[in-house]
Structure 1
Amino acid sequence: MLKAVIAEDEVNLLRFLRRKLEKHWPQLNIVAECTDGQAAFNAIERHQPDVVFLDIQMNELTGIELAAKLPKKTHLVFVTAYDSYALKAFEFGAIDYLLKPFSDARLLQCVTKLKNHLSPKTGQTKQNETIKLTIGTKSWLQPIEEIKAVCAQGRYVEIICENRSALLRMPFKDFLDFVDQQLFWQVNRGIAINIRHLDYVKTVDAKHMQIFLNDLSRPFTISRRFQSRFKNPLVPSFISST
């Protein structure tokens, strides 16, 4: 069972977070609750948790000071009322940054991220993995492996399938965290393609490449940052420069 430590200097908020985690992630074993940074550090050394939920402003040691002492294998989530520390938090490799007060939906999103990071990567997406999509009044469960491409649209992503597409309220980065990135290859800043649906790649000139997917007439541009992956001789044999 995965282990977690919660460090929060406000007792009511600590209990609130524990109740919510017990509700939304009952398999998580919360092994310690701490109200100051030094106690949290001691608990982390003693229990070696998989996940630490960490407040930033605490006595003894601040959350930032504590984060600098954590082993790299620890999955860190900052829980704070201040958004000014977000950049610093991600410099420490934080998986997420929960701003108080947060909703159940936001916590569930965080839990999904953590589960994705903590699950072993197999290189394959299970056939029964689905995501709920909606167009108007119609909703359906879309198998993730059948999604052809994903495009960033502000706070949404456009999910492109063979015969239809739908908008999903999820940031592009969060979607990439949710799916298997061995299956979904990012081709530019806001687009990822399902490698299983790749037809061919076309080299337009020395600087530009386009990618074509099976049964889609719409090509996608591969930015220079991601082109090396498609030029590697070990990529699948369907890659073409014609």
Structure 2
Amino acid sequence: MSTAIIADDEDLPRTELRRMLQQHWPELKINAECEHGLDALEAIHTQQPDIAFLDIRMPGMSGLDVAHAVKGRCQVLFTTAYDSHALDAFAAGAIDYLLKPIVAERLIEAIARLKERVANKHSQPQSSQLATGDPRLELNKMMQELDKRLRHTTPERIRWISASVGDTIKMFPVDKILFFSSDEKYTRVVSSDDEAHVRKPLKELIEGLDPEVFWQIHRGVVVRADAIARAQRDEMGRVTVELRGSTEILKVSLAYAWRFKPM
């Protein structure tokens, strides 16, 4: 029996996908349903499913981030509401996707491919799966290209952050900000010479930030990539980063540690 998890931050698409899977692949066991990328990553680590159905864009950690972090340990099928023209190049490749609202015929095609891939994975010895030319390396390249394509559909980028401090409004140009961090109901905004708190939650701010400029490194931390001075890995494999212009040491969660692997 094959197993799977479903991750989507919207209830209706998640419920509809489960219903359709029960209809067209009744022997598939759904081990977990997740509302966020980090929950999906944890479920993949604990449940070790054969397949992960991941919404491409979720608050905080995206489906692409989850796929990067799990390093090919399960088959991935992305779900998305993006226009199909951004995804056509991947329809027959290592990356498969379902366009919302999901059409039964398309799901049946995807199920056939997933069954074949799961069967092939179980039939191959681990050594051959990790041989030179590992298809997971090609998968990562394709996901990076997919991410670039989808950025063209993102909303207009934030250029300024305004924060109220008493009777003063502080203005932070985005290109001067070193990092953002969640602080209870607020988001802390830090530049090299100042900081403030804004009421907008980090998950909403992320939508207006350029993902090539700002990297999420933790559930509650987003940093300017070109401000990163160094990353340090301790004996337990935990990663921290230091930023130019800041004395703070920021933790990197397991979900984003892949960003700091040596080239």
TM-score by length of 2: 0.42
TM-score by length of 1: 0.46
Higher helix share: 2
Rg larger for: 1
